[in-house]
Structure 1
Amino acid sequence: MTRLETLQKNLLTVFGDDASLSLSHDELTLEVPVDAWIETCTALRDHNDLGFEICIDLCGIDYSGWRAPTFEFDSTLFPHRFAVVIHLLSVKHNWRMRVRTFVPGDDFPVLPTLFSVWPTVNWFEREAFDLYGIIFEGHPDLRRILTDYGFIGHPFRKDFPISGYVEMRYDVEQKRVVYQPVTIEPREITPRVVREDDYGVGR
């Protein structure tokens, strides 16, 4: 039995045969409901047959517009617009896996923090909050980490304009940096491709 098959067997033993488990690119993904987020992650860390001591990454995902022509959310594909994915490592067993949960509240997504389970998620959760606007309830210091203090919005949301909402410049008269509405006209650039009429034919 391979290491991956052993991990899959252990996960099904711990969480039951009806656990939402999938295999892709030689890595297992466990899908967890929000109300079992902390409990499941704690078991992944503490159970001797799993032993995921380290959370090596956490990120947010905005599924709006996924396989759809607009930014309208397609609930037939995913239960909620936003999801959080963590990547776990077990040094003891030398295996990895990912865990995903869909966060309810498409306008104001809220999820319990994993800080008490893996303190390493501190800055990861701050990044997901900054870029996607996902609130991690109970986080000890949830504030922006990449954008400026006066930044408006969450730039990784798919409905966020490419040019943003405000721009900053140095004002010579005031002798300080000031914020003002964006002066750039948003436009869509379509690249032009010029080719011969018989390009690629018979070559």
Structure 2
Amino acid sequence: MSSSRLETLSFYLQNVLADRFTSLDERLGELTISLHPADMLSSMQILRDHQDLHFDILIDLCGVDYSTYGAVSASESDRRGKRFAVVYHLLSVRHNHRLRVRIFADDDEFPVLDSMIGIWPSANWFEREAFDLYGTVFTGHPDLRRILTDYGFIGNPFRKDFPLSGNVEMRYDPDQQRVIYQPVSIEPRQITPRVIREEHYGDSE
């Protein structure tokens, strides 16, 4: 997006949303705003319905775990140590504008945000994915359940503290004639790769 169009979008956002967002950042030709979770529903409704914005399409949303992420710029100052966020990618077909919206959950132990299905129905499976992989709960979602992992899966695999070997493993038990879950039998280990080459490997003749 050209700098003039970014400036125009930034102007509209600041006038329309006023004090509803905590930061506005320009990076890689796109704008990112961070919203207060308490104003989430009303702010997203404005982003979709206001004539100067008209973000009528939710392209994608994804969860983020900031547990090992340091504040690298002023734009990260709105995080204030919060661990989980959801990032929304919006598109205005009418104005040909794109916008990234980031919202941090207040509670790190039980991250909860409002569902966007009532505003953008396409949020349905995206929110289920963020729930499955990060454990973020979306209030108001009509069918919030796992979508990528199986029903007996324990934990959320995209969290930074999730063990690489997982918590349980699944196998078929011939005696019970059914699939069962059991604790992981693989011992955790760290593999250090080694490259062994001949002394003159790669030398030209």
TM-score, with length taken from structure 1 = 0.86
- Partners of 1:31 and 1:181 in 2: CA distance: 40
Contact 1:63 1:78 in 2 (8 A): no
Instruction: Quote how far apart the aligned CAs of 1:10 are.
Output: 1.2
Q: Which residue of 1 aligns with 2:163?
A: 161
Tell me the secondary structure at the aligned position of residue 16 of structure 1.
helix
- Aligned mate of 1:135, from 134, 137, 148: 137
Q: Residues 100 and 149 of structure 1: is their aligned pair in 2 closer, same or farther, counting only changes over 3 Å? A: same
Is this contact kept in 2: 1:79–1:102, CA < 8 A? Answer: no
What pairs up with 1:8-87 in 2 under 5 angstroms? 8-16=10-18, 19=21, 20-67=23-70, 78-87=80-89
* Higher mean displacement: 42-51 or 2-11: 2-11
Deviation at 1:191, TM superposition (A): 2.5
Task: Tell me the alpha carbon deviations over residues 52-107 of structure 1, each in whole angstroms, 9 at most, x when there is no partner.
Answer: 00111011100011249xxxxxx996431100100000011111010001101111
The superposition leaves residues 155-185 of structure 1 with CA deviations (integer Å, 9 ceiling, x where unpaired) of 1111110111110111222222111110000
Residue matched to 2:94: 92
Counterpart code for 1:61: V
Preserved contact between residue 65 and residue 160 of structure 2 (Cα < 8 Å) = yes
* Residue 76 to residue 88, structure 1, CA distance change in 2 (3 Å): closer
The one-letter code of the counterpart of 1:144 is R
Distance 1:179 1:18, change over 3 A: closer
Where does structure 1 lack aligned partners over 5 or more consecutive residues? 69-74, 196-203
State the AA in 2 paired with 1:155: P
What is the percent sequence identity of the aligned residues?
Answer: 61
- Please give the alpha-carbon distance, in whole angstroms, between the structure 2 residues aligned to 1:67 and 1:185: 31
Alignment gaps of 5+ in structure 2: 72-76, 198-205
Question: Matches of 2:174 and 2:17 in 1, distance apart?
Answer: 63
Please, what TM-score do these two structures have when normalized by structure 2?
0.86
- Say whether 1:6 aligns with 2:8: yes
In the other structure, the counterpart of 2:200 is none
Q: Which residue, 105, 114, 117 being the options, matches 1:115? A: 117
| Corresponding residue SS for 1:125 | helix
Give the Å deviation of 1:2. Answer: 2.7
- Give, in whole Å, the separation in 2 of the partners of 1:67 and 1:188: 25
Instruction: Look up the match of 2:107.
Output: 105
Count residues in correspondence. Answer: 190
8 Å contact 2:20–2:43 — kept in the other structure? no
Give the Cα–Cα distance (whole angstroms) in 1 for the partners of residues 35 and 196 of structure 2: 49
**Cα distance in structure 2, aligned partners of 1:53 and 1:168:** 42
